[in-house]
């Protein structure tokens, strides 16, 4: 392992480990940052594990936050950076196949790494860049394999979310899932029912964004894990979702599998996410109704329109890019609502929405110019039919 690259990537975080060492404690980088460093990938979150107890961590570092102190986790703040520090621990007596009821602090690094989910996440680096790899995680990185630490049935029985995380990491890294690990997922699939939908949705979102999302979805459906998860249980057909946003991916999956948009609520999505997905369908219906591009562009976000036209192959993006709208909102129109009321000579009411729509369409389709005289003439012509 090239020491210069190690120092470049971990930079000031190395000083944090050395500060632990000077205080008489062991400390190591652990988890995802080690995995990504070995893969040559960029990473931002740096997690640290140590034999120092939480109260001792807080003594060594003046600025800290008790983010999970009951489980041995303290977030320390050093030179404007934050690091999550967790005391070596073992876990036992899991509640509802998700949360450990018993956490015991230990003094041995290996005991701590033994409790982790997958071999590629169970490696540690010390301040000199020495690798501690008791479960052949580096070998599995080389072979592009997702494999649990020790017995897969035990790992999934302890924490059922790990099953979905296996597919998420498979997607993120483009790795295959090792046979015994995949068999254990199939055997324990029903345990996923103990995991909250919010947690599941968060993992599914990451899965869809991965470079290997299509293969990962294929493996997920083959395992039958999806049959115990709302919305996912209705998925039969799928595509490579890696180039799409989460909302775009869910829209595609609803269309491919003829799933009601209302079922999206089973995933406990935010109102904003559900609104965005339904808006994609409104844009789609506009194209199916042969609405002029100018009117669609005026009403919806251009990036959302790009997504729909590309996915359904309605037209080329250049057909959209060449359009220059004369107005972008009602505020651009050379007349006010008060003036419209005066010209139509009616009390304000629902008719205002209809007139505004007709006026906007006339300007957008270049039937009239956006000038006061042209607009007044137009309003006078339609006045008798309102």
Dump pLDDT digits (tens) for 346-361. Answer: 899 999 999 999 999 9
Confirm if 192 and 200 have CB atoms less than 8 A apart. yes
pLDDT at position 108: 93
* Domain presence at residue 36: yes
- Residues 225-235: tens digit of each pLDDT: 999 999 999 99
Contact 297, 323 (CB under 8 A): yes
Judgement on whether residues 317 and 335 belong to the same structural domain of the protein: no
Cβ neighbourhood burial of 11 (10 Å; 0-12, 13-18, 19+): exposed
Report the distance separating Cα 201 and Cα 215, nearest Å. Answer: 18
What is the structure's pLDDT at 174?
97
Is the pTM above the cut of 0.75?
A: yes
Mean pLDDT for the chain overall: 94
Q: How far apart are CA 266 and CA 179, in angstroms?
A: 31
Mean pLDDT, residues 201-208 taken together: 97
Confidence of residue 383 (pLDDT cuts 50, 70, 90): confident
Q: Is residue 245 part of a domain?
A: no
Nearest CA-CA partner of 267 in 280, 254, 282, 258: 254
In a domain, 247, yes or no: no
The pLDDT, as a whole number, for residue 126 is 97
The CATH number given to whatever domain includes residue 29 is 3.30.460.10
User: In terms of residue numbers, what domain contains 216?
Assistant: 145-238
Average pLDDT of 69-97? 85
143, 158, 175 - which closes a domain: 143
Residue pair 82/75 in contact by the 8 Å Cβ criterion = yes
Contact indicator for 224, 189 with CB cutoff of 8 Å? yes
pLDDT tens digits, residue range 277-310?
A: 999 999 999 999 999 999 999 999 999 999 999 9
**Which one has a higher pLDDT value, 89 or 103?**
89
Decide if 115 contacts 106 (C-beta within 8 A).
no
Q: Do 150 and 138 belong together in one domain?
A: no
When divided into structural domains, the chain yields a total of 4
Q: Does a structural domain hold residue 252?
A: no
1-48: pLDDT as tens digits: 566 799 999 999 999 999 999 999 999 999 999 999 999 999 989 999
Strand bridging mode 145-146 / 176-177 = parallel
Q: Which band of pLDDT confidence, cut at 50, 70 and 90, is reported for residue 385?
A: confident
Q: Please report the pLDDT score of residue 99 as a whole number.
A: 64
Mean pLDDT of 147-164: 96
pLDDT at 69: 81
Q: How confident is the model at residue 92 (pLDDT cuts 50, 70, 90)?
A: low
| Same-domain pairing of 76 and 196 | no
> What is the predicted pLDDT for the residue at 384?
80
Cα(91)–Cα(116) distance, rounded to whole angstroms?
Answer: 10
pLDDT at residue 101, rounded to an integer: 63
Neighbours of 106 (CB within 10 A): 15
Could you tell me the pLDDT band of residue 96, with boundaries at 50, 70 and 90? low
> Between residues 146 and 69, which one has the greater pLDDT?
146
Specify if 67 maps to a domain: yes
pLDDT of residue 97: 58
Q: How confident is the model at residue 386 (pLDDT cuts 50, 70, 90)?
A: confident
Residues recorded for the chain: 386
Given a cut of 80, whether residue 311 has pLDDT beyond it is yes
Average pLDDT estimate for 191-213: 96
- Flag whether 335 is in a domain: yes
Residue 259 lies in a domain: no
Whether residue 98 has pLDDT greater than 60 = no
CA distances from 44 to 9, 11, 128, 148, 369 (A): 10, 12, 20, 24, 53
Task: Give yes or no: residues 121 and 27 share one domain.
Answer: yes
Percentage, residues of the chain above pLDDT 90? 90
Residue 52 lies in a domain: yes
Confidence of residue 121 (pLDDT cuts 50, 70, 90): very high
pLDDT at 205: 97
Q: pLDDT category, 93, cuts 50, 70, 90?
A: low
């Amino acid at each position: 392992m090239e020491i210069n690259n190690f120092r470049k990537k971990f930079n000031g975080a190395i000083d944090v480990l050395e500060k632990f060492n000077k205080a008489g404690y062991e400390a190591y980088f652990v988890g995802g940052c080690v995995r990504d460093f070995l893969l040559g990938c960029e990473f931002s979150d740096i997690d640290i594990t140590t034999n120092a107890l939480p109260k001792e961590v807080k003594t060594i570092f003046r600025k800290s936050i008790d983010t999970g102190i009951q489980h041995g986790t303290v977030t320390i703040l050093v030179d404007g950076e934050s690091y999550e520090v967790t005391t070596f621990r073992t876990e036992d007596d899991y509640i509802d196949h998700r949360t450990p009821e018993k956490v015991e602090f230990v003094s041995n690094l290996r005991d701590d790494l033994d409790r982790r989910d997958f071999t590629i996440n169970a490696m540690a680096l010390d301040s000199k860049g020495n690798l501690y790899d008791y479960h052949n995680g580096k070998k599995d990185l080389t072979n592009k394999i997702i494999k649990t630490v020790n017995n897969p049935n035990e790992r999934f029985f302890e924490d059922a979310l790990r099953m979905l995380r296996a597919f998420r990491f498979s997607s993120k890294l483009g790795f295959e899932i090792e046979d015994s690990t995949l068999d254990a997922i199939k055997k324990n699939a029903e345990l996923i029912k103990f995991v909250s939908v919010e947690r599941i949705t968060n993992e599914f979102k990451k899965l869809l964004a991965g470079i290997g999302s299509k293969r990962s979805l294929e493996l997920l459906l083959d395992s039958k894990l999806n049959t115990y998860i709302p919305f996912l249980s209705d998925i039969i057909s799928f595509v490579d979702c890696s180039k799409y946003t989460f909302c775009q991916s869910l829209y595609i999956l609803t269309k491919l599998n003829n799933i009601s948009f209302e079922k999206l609520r089973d995933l406990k999505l935010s109102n904003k996410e559900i609104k965005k997905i339904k808006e994609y369908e409104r844009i789609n219906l506009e194209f199916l109704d042969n609405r002029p591009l100018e009117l669609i562009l005026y009403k919806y976000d251009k990036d959302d329109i790009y997504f729909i036209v590309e996915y359904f192959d309605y037209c080329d993006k250049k057909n959209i890019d060449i359009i220059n709208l004369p107005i972008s909102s009602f505020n651009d129109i050379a007349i006010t609502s008060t003036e419209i009321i005066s010209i139509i000579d009616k009390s304000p009411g629902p008719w205002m929405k209809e007139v505004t729509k007709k006026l906007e369409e006339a300007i957008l389709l270049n039937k009239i110019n956006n000038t006061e005289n042209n607009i007044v003439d137009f309003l006078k012509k339609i006045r008798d039919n309102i």
